[in-house]
């Protein structure tokens, strides 16, 4: 999979499942209370464990967490919506992620 450079002022995530890396722009992320949803060009198997690194121009460094894919809906023509449940995220990382995406935070 390819990685692309994010524009100034955008937050993004890099997701890693096994040996695959996936770069997701901030516009494709929906933050939930206990996880996230994001768009992917390729399907990701349910119960796949993932390591996520969140990058933001507003905070130094990266935010790191782990999760598991609980749903992946869609098709190869329109893309897939992947729902991931956090299994390990620090309080600090969760707070920063919530602040970055507060306007669209949903249950």
pLDDT band at residue 99, thresholds of 50, 70 and 90? confident
pLDDT in tens, 40-49: 888 999 999 9
For domain 13-104, the CATH class is: mainly beta
Q: Is 79 left (phi over 0), alpha (psi -120 to 50) or beta?
A: left
Per-residue pLDDT at 96: 79
The domains of the chain are located at 13-104
Tell how far CA 49 is from the center of its chain.
13
Taking CA atoms, 77 is separated from 38, 40, 42, 97, in Å, by: 16, 11, 10, 30
Between residues 44 and 20, which one has the greater pLDDT?
A: 44
In the predicted model, what is the mean pLDDT of residues 11-31? 69
The reply to whether the predicted model has a pTM over 0.75 is no
């Amino acid at each position: 999979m390819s990685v692309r450079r994010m524009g100034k002022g955008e937050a993004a995530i890099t997701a890693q499942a096994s040996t695959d890396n996936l770069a997701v722009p901030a516009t494709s992320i929906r933050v939930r209370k206990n996880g996230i949803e994001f768009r992917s060009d390729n399907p990701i198997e349910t119960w796949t464990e993932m390591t996520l690194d969140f990058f933001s121009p507003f905070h130094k460094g990266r935010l790191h967490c782990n999760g598991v894919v609980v749903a992946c809906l869609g098709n190869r023509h329109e893309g897939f919506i992947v729902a991931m449940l956090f299994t390990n995220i620090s309080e600090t990382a969760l707070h920063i992620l919530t602040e970055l995406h507060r306007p669209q935070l949903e249950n």
